[in-house]
Chain A
Amino acid sequence: MKRTLLVIAVAVVYVLHQDFWFWRTARPLVFGFVPVGLFYHACFAVLASLLLWLLVKHAWPSHLEREAESQTHDHEEEAR
């Protein structure tokens, strides 16, 4: 269930990148000089960072690290 929700979250963020709603307008100018389309995509980068934080927190492949460390340890033992 958790994995499904995370996949949906990734898909939603990807779709949000295709923002047709600010396509033809520069206004409002955020802070008086940043066109809204540019501001939206700067916010998108922050959203991407939050998504990655979620993935790291809930879908980190820790088994890979355990396997790699144990196998490396085995090789070192053999070498000795």
Chain B
Amino acid sequence: MIPAIVVFAYLGIVLYIGIFAFRRSTGRQKAEDYFLASRSLGPFVFLLSLFGSNMTAFAILGSSGHAFNNGIVTFGLMASSSALVIPLTIFLIGTRVWALGKKYGFMTPVQMFRDRWECSHIGTVIFAVQAVLLLPYVIIGIMGGGTTLATISGGFVPFWFGGAIVAMVVMSYVFFGGMRGTAWVNTFQTILFLVFGAIAVVVIGYGMGGFSAAAEQLQASPATAPLLTRERISPLYFFSYTFIPLSAIAFPHILIFCLTARKMVQFKKTVIFYPLCIMAIWLPCVFLGVMANRVADVPQIRAKQEARRVLATQGKTMEPEQRDQLREEAAGDDVILRLLERYAPLWLAGLLGAGIMAAVMASDSQILALSTMFTEDVFAFYGGKRRFGEAVQVQTGRIFVIVLTVVAYAIAMRAPEAIFDLAIQYAFSGFASLSPLLVAALFWRGSTKWGALASTVWTASAVVAVAAFQAAVPAPAPGPPTVIWSLGGTEILARTPGGTAVFGFMPVVPMVIVSALLMIVVSRLTRKPSEATIERYFERAA
């Protein structure tokens, strides 16, 4: 119960920061102030809160859970590829979007697309697809909050209540504090997690009797030795994952966040330190997830290991529903919390739990981004701001925050999938597939609104098709995939234990490539925006 009390105290501090930020902006009912903190964030807050916006329940609970079942490959799959691709895209795209936002007053990506391609309703289609894809991100934040509080309190706080508390806290400081409150909370949370992540590794390592012995024991057992290598993952699958981080810059909350910097020079430290921040957070999570396989005296972890063993040995003869049940039992989203519960003293477990809570609650940025998009891309665009004024626009944004949080909570209570799968299969692949829109808008004079529409419709269709395919074809047992379509000995479409494979790649690869091709082909066939508009975007460098 003590850890739960510490976590509740932490939630109180977070609320205070949000409300404190609100006080600073009282009386300034300007949309730019509420949604973008008046484009005034300094370098320190900009780096830490931009990074914190990307570190969600997926990064902390999902990564350690994935590492628990798949081994060290998790770090190479997502962390090190993100360490290169995300800062690179912030360097190339984020800086340009910041400059355009400063020049033309954009507050959302869709505003920029509408201006760049001289379109209106096509912008609304892009908004709708972005909003639907962003919702899972908010949902996993609430699910992560429920899981964390339930585990830390030893079941005293049930999952539904924990999720509700997290949703309420996040909703409150986003409602009152807007972007300024969210940015300061994210900064506080990122510092907390960076500090406590390192402490967690030391404490758990000490409790386990040192990592050297644990690593040797994992290596000695045929069942766990592959977790220290990547032999269970194909190189094509590994390569596919480098496409996933393209999603980061296409996420509206990241792009909107790029608009909050006071000066462009603030991007410099952000892009240089971003890879190191990723390493500092993911390395402990992945490593502890792998090491959890050595733990024999935690019944919940033993149950997961047993479910995984049964799935591997008897999965082929089971019904799909039984396999799904075992997968759910083997899911490792709470292993890092179980380790803390077992090896950390009570007060420290509370502090470390608060650190994890910090990362889990990063869904605030997505909620605020959705609110910004709704009020700017729909409410203001279709005349609401003109008719009712800017103060009503901000109030609409706040009401939207409440409605969205309630909807996300309701879905989170019913969604059965592991955090990692839910996020990766829908939100990440979808946004990666939307990244060609940004590249085309900023770097290609010949791009058109019809090309943008083609890419967007393709992205939406592909996400729905993958989801429908995986719902229709049950996941096979661990081992070779179920080939659905092959031609001349080449596997074209297959259902794998973890998802779908197209020519051996994850669906994100063909999704991004086809999206880019559609942008090129359709743009070449259709009329470009006026020369005056194009000139505004491609002024010659002095």
Contact = CB atoms under 8 A, between A and B. Distances in A.
Most B CB within 10 A of own CB, among A46, A60, A61, A68: A68
A67 B539 CA distance: 9
4 A-B pairs with the lowest CB-CB distances in the bound complex, closest first: A26-B228, A33-B211, A64-B99, A45-B279
Given A17-B242, A41-B75, A49 B215 contact: no
B99 A38 contact: no
Contact of A38 (B219, B286, B542): B286
A56 interface: yes
Contacts of A5: none
B230 interface: yes
Contacts of A37: 72-73, 76, 228-230
B235 interface: yes
B99 A17 contact: no
B514 interface: no
A52 B212 contact: no
B348 to A, nearest CB: 22
Contact of A52 (B75, B87, B539): B87
B275 A49 contact: yes
B51 to A, nearest CB: 13
B228 A42 contact: no
B112 to A, nearest CB: 14
B72 A52 contact: no
Contacts of B263: 65
B98 A42 contact: no
B472 to A, nearest CB: 33
B541 A14 contact: no
Most A CB within 10 A of own CB, among B83, B95, B541: B83
B268 interface: yes
A68 B264 contact: yes
Most B CB within 10 A of own CB, among A20, A24, A55: A55
Given A24-B231, A33-B214, A49 B273 contact: yes
Interface in A1-53: 10, 13-14, 17-20, 22-27, 29, 32-35, 37-38, 41-42, 44-46, 48-49, 51-53
Most B CB within 10 A of own CB, among A34, A38, A63, A65: A38
A56 B272 contact: yes
A34 B276 contact: no
B205 to A, nearest CB: 8
A80 interface: no
B8 interface: no
The secondary structure that dominates the A interface is helix
A23 B542 CA distance: 48
A51 B86 CA distance: 13
Contacts of A20: 235
Contacts of B114: none
Contact of B264 (A10, A53, A64): A64
A52 B216 CA distance: 36
Given A45-B279, A52-B271, A23 B264 contact: no
Interface string B498-533: 000000000000000000000000000000000000
B300 interface: no
B542 A61 contact: no
B88 to A, nearest CB: 7
B96 A61 contact: yes
A27 B99 CA distance: 48
Contacts of A14: 84, 242
Given A24-B231, A48-B80, A71-B103, A63 B215 contact: no
A38 B72 contact: yes
B368 interface: no
Contacts of A35: 72, 215, 228-229
Interface string B77-108: 00111011001100100011011101100000
A32 B217 CA distance: 12
Contacts of B265: 65
Interface in B191-228: 210-212, 214-216, 219, 225, 228
B229 A26 contact: yes
Contact of B103 (A27, A45, A49, A72): A72
Interface in B252-296: 263-265, 268, 271-276, 278-279, 283, 286-287
Contacts of A69: 102
Interface string B133-147: 000000000000000
Contact of A45 (B80, B214, B231, B287): B80
Contacts of B212: 29, 32-33
Interface in B307-359: none
A29 B331 CA distance: 27
A14 B89 CA distance: 13
Most B CB within 10 A of own CB, among A19, A61, A63: A61
A58 to B, nearest CB: 12
A68 B103 contact: yes
A68 B278 CA distance: 30
B229 A49 contact: no
Nearest to B80: A41
Nearest to B540: A63
Contact of B95 (A19, A34, A61): A61
B87 A48 contact: yes
A44 B542 CA distance: 36
Given A48-B84, A52-B88, 20 more contacts: A17-B80, A19-B76, A24-B229, A26-B229, A32-B212, A34-B215, A38-B228, A38-B287, A41-B75, A42-B279, A44-B80, A45-B278, A49-B275, A61-B95, A64-B99, A66-B542, A67-B103, A69-B102, A71-B103, A72-B102
B83 A45 contact: yes
